[in-house]
Amino acid sequence: MNKVTAELIINAYSQGIFPMAEKATSLDIYWVDPELRGIIPLDDFHLPRRLARKIKQNIFEVRVDTSFIKVIEGCATTLAYENRKETWINDQIVSLYAQLFDEGFVHTVECWQDDELVGGLYGVSLGGAFCGESMFHTVSDASKIALAYLVARLKAGGYCLLDTQFITPHLSQFGATEISRHDYKARLAEALEVDGDFYSLPVNAGPESILQSLTHTS
């Protein structure tokens, strides 16, 4: 079996494949290529009014790319309370994605409150595609606001594909939909030709900039 490296993971993403572990204690990872793929069409992102009001309240300090390890550890800890009984994030995934973060392929959006990380998400950025990996929250709406900030950043940066891997009720409320594997890979190929800029928005972009980006359609 070939050794899994950060380079191999990026190559897999470019072909529409992503890694998972069976559980936190697993020593190996396996590759996933779903028949149906979840995406959020960026121009059809649905921002619930209640969440828009909460964004305006500016109750979280939203940071970008400041604490990857805390974010992925938060995701691993809280996954047990979502759709799975155990996390799919093992030590190997943490180590590999930390390397990809250092190399600029992985990004985080983080919600902080009183200098405590209370929610966030991380994913892989390739060209004009952002492959969302996981999100978590310990304070109500923190992960939802992180997602809204992510979408605003992707739209501002010229991205054309937001991959959510699978559909959950949590994601469906934002306009997430399922497409076929063939359709996904065609969209991915187009997105890889795009030069997305994750930092097109300032890292300290405030609620006004975020809401303006979310309500603007190309």
Give bridge partners of residue 65 from the DSSP assignment.
Answer: none
Q: What is the pTM of this model?
A: 0.93
At which residue do the structure tokens 């996981």 appear?
Answer: 134
Range of the domain at 193: 6-215
pLDDT digits (tens, 9 = 90+) for 116-158: 999 999 999 999 999 999 999 999 999 999 999 999 999 999 9
In a 13 Å sphere around the CA of 53, the CA atoms on its Cβ side amount to 3
| pLDDT value, residue 79 | 53
Task: Give strand pairing partners of 178.
Answer: 38
Q: Which helix (H) or strand (E) holds 50?
A: helix 49-57
What's the confidence (pLDDT) of residue 158? Answer: 96
SS3 call for 195: coil
CATH of the domain at 76: 3.40.630.70
pLDDT score at 109 = 98
Considering the domain boundaries, does residue 196 fall inside one?
Answer: yes
Within a domain: 1: no
- The pair of three-digit structure tokens given for residue 94, joined into one six-digit string: 């943490």
Question: Has residue 11 been placed in a domain?
Answer: yes
Which pLDDT score is estimated for 2? 57
Helices 6-13, 91-102: crossing angle, 10 deg rounding: 80
Q: Please state the domain count of the chain.
A: 1
The pLDDT value given to residue 22: 83
